[in-house]
Structure formats: structure tokens, C-alpha cells
Amino acid sequence: MYITNKCILTIALMGFMAYPAHGVLYEQAPPDPTLLGHFSYIDPGGNADNFTLSMGSWVTAFTWYGYYADADLADGVSSVNFLVRLYSNNTSGIYPLPGGVLYDATLTASVTDSGLDVDDGLYDDKTIYRFIADLSSSPVLVAAGETWLSVVENSSEDPSWLWSRYNSTPLGSAFQYLDSTWAVGDSNHAFSLEGAVVPVPGAFLLGMLGLSVAGVKLRKHA
């Protein structure tokens, strides 16, 4: 069996083009219906939650969960506008908090019934919705490390939106005062990120080297 250098390069390039695979980059879901959500419908004055990526990634979708305090959405509502921001991680204080704005956009999120109803003792039986902002046509590049996500409901549907919580871990989030300063919040919110990891040049070159060595061995035994 004989493998030429051209064949080795072609195989390596095919592997490079096929990688990375699209999938879940980070997830804090599903929400816990028994936990009272956090209001997040005023800007400034919303909530944020942090996440950590081990490698730089292209985010192609944000998903989050929440419900409305006053009433469920009217029949036929299939999308809602949200102000979505990404912040750097500010470690200058006692606890990490959102820092500078890295991404800022008003996104139209599709809305569907998550199949869960609120059971927090205050807004019982309200529908918990799943919101998905599809960024496949304009993905967002997020660097490795800790980043903060903020979602604020800014449509005219209903201003009393609460971001559902994932768990009650202390110091797991942050909330914003009306003067735009941040403070440590409780619990983690329910959300996830989908996308693809940015290929690492070193890994690509290592793969090519491995294929080259394999090709040499095959030529010797041909």
C-alpha cells in the first residue's frame, strides 16, 4: 500500500474542514420550577450569569428559560425581542462580576412552551418558556475563559419577565442597579450555548504530522 504526500495532505485538510462539530458548548438547564426566577426586564437593571469555555468558540445559538409574572403570552406569539449582552469577567473586587461589554444586540428569540410550569409558591402554574436566539447566520466569537451573559426582555408583550433559575448555588450570578453598577446575586440562571469550538492550529499540525509518519511506515511496508 502506498500513500503519497499529496494524499496525506488531502486527508489532513478534510479532517480540518470537518472539525469542529456543532454542539452544546455550555449548559445550565433545564430550569428548576420550584425556584423563584429573577426579574430581568429593565435596562439597566437586568441580571447576568457567568460561564466558562475551555477553548475559543463560535456561538451559533443562545437558549434561555423564563416566565411572565402577570400572565402567560397570548396565543400566537412565536417570538420575543431580548437585549442580549456578553461581558468580560471583572476580578478587581472581592467577587467576580460583569466587566466591559463584549457583545450587545437586540435579538428576536423564538419562544416555545418548555413543558414546565412554575411551582415557586408565588407565580404557580405560569408557563416556563424556552427562548432561542439563532445566530447561525452571524455567529459570535467568544474567547476561552470566563464570560458573563445577560438577557433582558425588552419587547412590548409583557414587562414582567423573570429569568428562570437552574439551581440555588450562592454567588452564582449578578444583578445590575439602575446606575449600571453590578452586585453579586444568588443562584444560577437557566441557559445554554450552542456552537463550534475554534480549531487549534497546533492540533491541526500535529494531526498532519501523525498522518505523515503513518504514510512513511506504510510506504516502507508496501
Listed in order, strand segments (DSSP E) in 41-171 are 47-53, 57-68, 79-90, 97-117, 127-134, 140-142, 145-153, 161-163, 165-167
pLDDT tens for each residue of 70-93: 899 999 999 999 999 999 999 998
pTM of structure = 0.80
Cα 116 from Cα 108, distance rounded (Å) = 22
Question: Best-predicted range by mean pLDDT among 39-43, 55-59, 178-182?
Answer: 55-59
Q: What is the mean pLDDT of residues 133-140?
A: 96
Cα 71 from Cα 53, distance rounded (Å) = 36
Residue 153 has pLDDT above 90, yes or no: yes
